[in-house]
Structure 1
Amino acid sequence: MNAVFITFGVIILSILLFLPVYKDRKARFAPFPAPWREILERNMPLYLVLPDELKMQLHLLVNSFIHRKNFYPCQDLEMTDEIKVTIAGQACLLLLNRKTSEYAKLKSILVYPAAFIAAHTQVDENGLVSVEQIGLAGESWGNGRIVLSWDDVKKGARNIHDGHNVVLHEFAHQLDSEDGSTNGAPYLDSPNAYQSWAKVMSKEFAQLQHNHMLGLKSVMDDYGASEPAEFFAVVTETFFEKPAQLKHKHPELYQILAAYYHVQPDEWQH
């Protein structure tokens, strides 16, 4: 009798363990809703230039992302499929052609209608601590959350030539933090890749800092000169939105990002 109960318990436990995996696979491979495709076509011009094979990949990733992540509206914003799909489409752009756990540590996306106020602590050169209220378009937190401004999400998605995209920026931070440290060095495919990554990224980061100090223009936003983590997020925006310019002016940087993201966006017709 005890053996029967033990066997029954093992079966029930196996079902309970398998059920979430089954639900995830079912959601991932569900038919992509036509209204969602229309949202991507309307709000995400980069979707229109993707090769068909990458579009199909993106559909699977968006299905899974929306199934697995929690979206929370803030300040009376009404959460809609348009908001979810527009954010998920851009976030999953960073996952194409890659082995991915789909931002495994990320649980929640908080969305404000417009720029939101956040308190940031600053320490000056004399050690004095001050708290400054800053209006932000997005923020990536280490506790499994991302905060976004819906207005800025739409602006970033619809202009694919300015190199500014808050979703790409904040989700690049999520990739960067997957190894437990947000320092501009995400998980790479092989141990040997880290040496090349460090060499190229350090050189390009120093060059951007130099240009910023002298007031020289760069294809990348000057905000990337603030620290290595921001540099990685900024060059990710540039890689997807200004690929031809980045490849022409910073070929080593373009190639190392192409190797990391496993796509060649300069080949897409923007």
Structure 2
Amino acid sequence: MWSFRHWRRRRILARSAVSKGEWRRAEESLPLLESLTDDERHRLREWATLFLHEKSLEGVQGLTIDGDAARRIALQACLPILHLDFDWLRGWTSVVIYPDAFVVDHEEMDSAGVVHRVREARSGESWDRGPLIISAADVDAGRQRDAYNVILHEIAHKLDALNGVADGFPPLHGDMQPEAWTRAFTRAFEDINQRLDAGQETLLDPYAAEAPEEFFAVATETFFEVPERLAEAYPDVFEQLARFYRVWSLKRS
């Protein structure tokens, strides 16, 4: 059926000046896209085109974002929604890019109830209804297929917050069971914390133990970057993410 939204998207795509060669160059620099089919690559390019049209990429502290860098960012930002819809990236309009890790001020409460003001260096940050903030240095580091990807991490927070605040429980599809999601993620979150408390190594980045929302974001990074690692560590979480992202082709081993 005809809709203004569909018509507008087709109009944007038809007017795109990005050539297939330019998209191919960006894709070839991103190993996590190697397993995509031709149809998936075509759809990802469309989502990335809409991303570049609707989101502003703003370099700060003298950083300039050229076309190749913008396309790499857009492709990675749209990978989690490849089998969903572009509307999953609604509610925010800008990507702020620092040259390197940036410092933020925030408040933390200790076990005694005392609030402390903390300065902390970060590689990425996602504000509710606000910009997505990333570090160019960490974006470049994420081009290695090693389960570290600041763009995937922060996009996961954006998806997580669509039903309120980021808490590790994003809006699930109608054919998913909230109880199964809660059970899988709760067990995995408790397990990684227990392992870290015991001084054991973990297959997921230890940052996943910080909070449920961070576990979801780290699990998302791992799911797309090295899915076999997540499937080995937490097969139930892998299954839930496959259902959520509608991705069934990733290798489990």
Q: TM-score, normalised by structure 1?
A: 0.85
- Tell me the CA shift for residue 168 of structure 1: 0.5
Q: Is the 2:47–2:86 contact (alpha carbons within 8 Å) kept by the matching residues of 1?
A: no
Deviation readout 1:45-83 (Å, 9 max, x if unpaired): 122331212111101100111111111111011122122
Identity rate, percent: 32
Question: Which of 83, 100, 103 pairs up with 1:117?
Answer: 103
Q: What's 1:86 paired with?
A: 72
The structure carrying a bigger helix percent of its residues is 1
Structure 1 counterpart of 2:144, which letter? Answer: N
Whole-Å separation in 1 of the counterparts to 2:51 and 2:13: 8
Q: Deviation at 1:41?
A: 1.3
2: CA distance between counterparts of 1:236 and 1:163? 9
- Which residue of the partner structure matches residue 241 of structure 2? 257
1:14 — aligned with what? none
For structure 1, list consecutive stretches of 5 or more residues without a partner in the other structure: 1-16
Whole-angstrom CA distance in 2 between matches of 1:267 and 1:222: 23
Based on CA coordinates, which of the two structures has the bigger radius of gyration? 1
Confirm or deny: 8 A CA contact 2:88 2:159 kept in the other structure.
no
**Residue 8 of structure 1 corresponds to which residue in structure 2?**
none
Q: Distance in 1 between matches of 2:100 and 2:15?
A: 32
1:219 aligns with 2:203: yes
Pairs within 5 Å for 1:1-270:
22-30=7-15, 32-33=18-19, 34-42=21-29, 44-156=30-142, 158-160=143-145, 162-190=146-174, 192-264=176-248, 266-267=250-251
CA contact 1:75–1:113 (8 Å) conserved in 2: yes
CA contact (8 A) 1:152 1:166 kept: yes
Cα distance in structure 2, aligned partners of 1:264 and 1:103: 21
Hey, what's the Cα distance between the residues in 2 that align with 1:268 and 1:191? 22
Instruction: Assess, with a 3 A threshold, how the Cα gap between structure 1 residues 132 and 265 changes in structure 2: closer, same or farther.
Output: farther
Structure 2 unaligned regions, length at least 5: none
Q: Which consecutive segments of 4 or more residues in structure 1 shift more than 6 A?
A: none
Instruction: Give how far 1:184 is off.
Output: 0.3
- Matched with 1:9 is none
Counterparts of 2:33 and 2:176, CA distance in 1 = 33
Amino acid at match of 1:61: W
Offset at residue 36 of structure 1 (A): 3.0
Q: Aligned AA for 2:200?
A: L
How far did residue 123 of structure 1 move? 1.7
8 Å CA contact 2:147–2:225 kept in 1: the answer is yes
1:199 Cα offset (Å)? 1.1
Is the Cα contact below 8 Å between 1:65 and 1:102 reproduced in 2?
A: no
User: How many residues matched?
Assistant: 249
Retained in 2: the 8 A contact 1:223–1:231? yes
Question: How far apart are residue 40 of structure 1 and its match?
Answer: 2.3
Give distance in 1, aligned partners of 2:166 and 2:139: 22
Give the direction of change, closer, same or farther, for the CA distance of 1:109–1:151 in structure 2 (3 Å limit). Answer: same
